[in-house]
Amino acid sequence: MKIAVCIKRVPDSETRVKIGSDGKRIDEAGVKFVLNPYDEFAVEEALQRKEKAAAGEVAVICLGPAAAQETIRTALAMGADRAVLLQTDAIPADGFVTAQALAAELKTGGWDLILFGKMAIDDYNQQVGPMVAELLGLPCVTAVAHLEIDGTKGVAEREIEGGIEVVEFPLPAVLTVDKGLNEPRYPALKGIMAAKKKPLEVKPVQLPAGGIEVVALTPPPERKEGKIVGEGAGAVAELVRLLREEAKVL
Amino acid sequence: MSAILAVCEQRDGTLRKVSHEVVTGARRIGEVEAVVCAAGPVQGADQLGRFGADKVVTLTNAAFAKYSPEGCAQAIAERAKTGGYGAVVFAASATGKDLAPRVAAKLGVGLVADCTDIAAEGGTILATRPVYAGKALLKVKVATKPAVLSLRPNVFTPVERPKAGGAETIAVNVAAGRVVVREIKAAEAGALDVAEAQIVISGGRGLKEPANFKVIEELARAFGGQAAVGASRAVVDAGWRAHADQVGQTGKTVSPTLYIAVGISGAIQHLAGMRTSKVIVAINKDKDAPIFKIADYGVVGDLFEVVPKLTEEIKKLHG
């Protein structure tokens, strides 16, 4: 199994977002960056598939700034074999530009599987995986929560409103994965030491701006101060009255 | 602004309600042509005129009986290419999230995903979308031709604005799909998705153990099929509830009319996922819990006393 996993460096989910002075991006000062949580499931899945096949390679591809090397080392410490950093200081707002850069890197790899997290928890673009599949002419299943592969046939399950869609696809394929697909491992000390010696190729890339331009990044509207209706079950009647008469939602 | 292609959804030959929101949203930026992929006539498609569709086009192919990721993407992209549309608008539903990027890539443009506001100003489309799970709003100018947008469910409240809604059915040829939906395993009868429900009642660690979620489920049932049960990350990670139910930055971002947080302290990643709810109620025994800071109405107390009482009161209203 030859598997590529596309990963992203994102602010930790506990980050308090502060808007930068240009009003178009976040202020990164003091922000802790991590491997995108959904990408952890993708890395884990790739490692398990390779281990099961007892052969193959797991390569990690990341588009991001020089600092993303730290994120890449996390994936290498989990067990990936090698990595490529497509280095750029700014990830464009236009996901198609990102997809083109990744597709250009992936097109000659001869991959059996190309895995992505179903989305990045920073820009919420939710598009790069299926776009890479389109650009490479590969079949794609998104938001995979359960996966079985037998030879070159795969069966994936994905959550839809009110049910689970069972989807068949042939390999090679591009999959984007959901939380719950597996239990991502923590890098062991041995893995962390080994990761320092694994190949990490840095390739500077120049990206076009694309067709989606950031106008402003703003804090969400403040919610108006709420009120404590009361304490205990005795407050419920008043709560229901307020929901009916004041909020008019019942 | 040239015409807008509003991509609607059907399941089992019936139009999905989220389509009304897509047409309502698309109407904000231009004249709307609604389009739906189906195996045959779609029940409810004739209602799209009421919400502002000037025209309703059904693209038919036997492969569209179930969602066909590749076939629908091809059919929609071909339609989009021929019509000179200013924008192609999807729902950011499970299907829309899968389909929209495929179509955008076929059109060679980026997707503006999960918009909560869209507008046309002097021929340019402006879109606002939550990023960092709603901790910030990103406003973008879309110069792609066409603009490809998806709209967050439950935000574009359907507005009736009657238009002709003339129907047209076009049989389309598409390549045999490699990705095939074999079946849909239905969730528990009547179970609503947290991202689409009008009322969401979420439970957290305050429930103490998984079996206690029954107090939440009973409250949800009291709302007579309008409410979905959500969960905090803590209880999903503990394996009490399915990930599909998780509200927050690594789960779903929801905007229901009423959100009731039960036994949830309100970690920042959870607040990010539900702060756009119209009305928020918090029930927690700790009066200093952060959840009370963004709740419109709070009740401090033992949830095992408060929630059953609330269930009783709601039953009276619906009874």
In a domain, residue B185? The reply is no
Which domains are delineated in chain A?
Answer: 2-204 (3.40.50.620)
Q: Residue B237 maps to which CATH number? A: 3.40.50.1220
Cα A150 to Cα A171: distance, rounded to the nearest angstrom = 10
B191 neighbourhood in chain A, CB within 8 Å? 162
Judge if B207 and B152 occupy the same domain. Answer: no
Q: Inter-chain contact A214–B183, Cβ cutoff 8 Å?
A: no
What's at B170, amino acid-wise? Answer: I
List, as ranges, residues 2-21 from B with C-beta within 8 Å of A. Answer: none
In a domain, residue B214? The reply is yes
B293 neighbourhood in chain A, CB within 8 Å? 226
List, as ranges, residues 134-163 from B with C-beta within 8 Å of A. Answer: 134-145
- B264 contacts B233 by C-beta, under 8 angstroms: no
Backbone angles phi, psi at B313, to 5 degrees: -65, -40
In a domain, residue B180? The reply is no
In a domain, residue B27? The reply is yes
Judge if B226 and B88 occupy the same domain. Answer: no
pLDDT in tens, B76-99: 999 999 989 999 999 999 999 999
Cα B319 to Cα B308: distance, rounded to the nearest angstrom = 16
Judge if B11 and B158 occupy the same domain. Answer: yes
Give Cα separations from B277 to B136, B256, B260 (angstroms).
Answer: 15, 5, 10
Q: Inter-chain contact B296–A38, Cβ cutoff 8 Å?
A: no
Q: Residues B10-29: what's their mean pLDDT?
A: 96
In a domain, residue B183? The reply is no
Cα B211 to Cα B202: distance, rounded to the nearest angstrom = 14
In a domain, residue B207? The reply is yes
Question: How many separate domains does chain B show?
Answer: 2
In a domain, residue B53? The reply is yes
Q: Which residue range(s) make up the domain with B212? A: 199-318
Q: Residue B142 maps to which CATH number? A: 3.40.50.620
Q: Does B201 touch chain A (CB under 8 A)?
A: no
Query: What ipTM did this prediction achieve?
Result: 0.95
- CB atoms closer than 10 angstroms to residue A20: 12
CA B110 to chain centre: 20
What's at B10, amino acid-wise? Answer: Q
Is pLDDT larger for residue B191 or for residue A139? A139
Cα B317 to Cα B319: distance, rounded to the nearest angstrom = 6
Residue A4: both structure tokens together: 């590529």
Q: Residues A28-47: what's their mean pLDDT?
A: 97
Angle of helix A236-245 relative to helix B303-318, nearest 10 degrees, comes to: 50
pLDDT band at B319 (very low <50, low <70, confident <90, very high): low
Judge if B156 and B204 occupy the same domain. Answer: no
pLDDT in tens, B162-220: 998 899 999 999 999 999 999 999 877 667 889 889 999 999 999 999 999 999 999 99
- Of A127-131, B100-104, B248-252, minimum mean pLDDT range: B248-252
Cα B301 to Cα A60: distance, rounded to the nearest angstrom = 49
Alpha helices in chain B (DSSP H): 18-27, 69-83, 94-107, 214-222, 233-237, 268-274, 291-294, 303-318
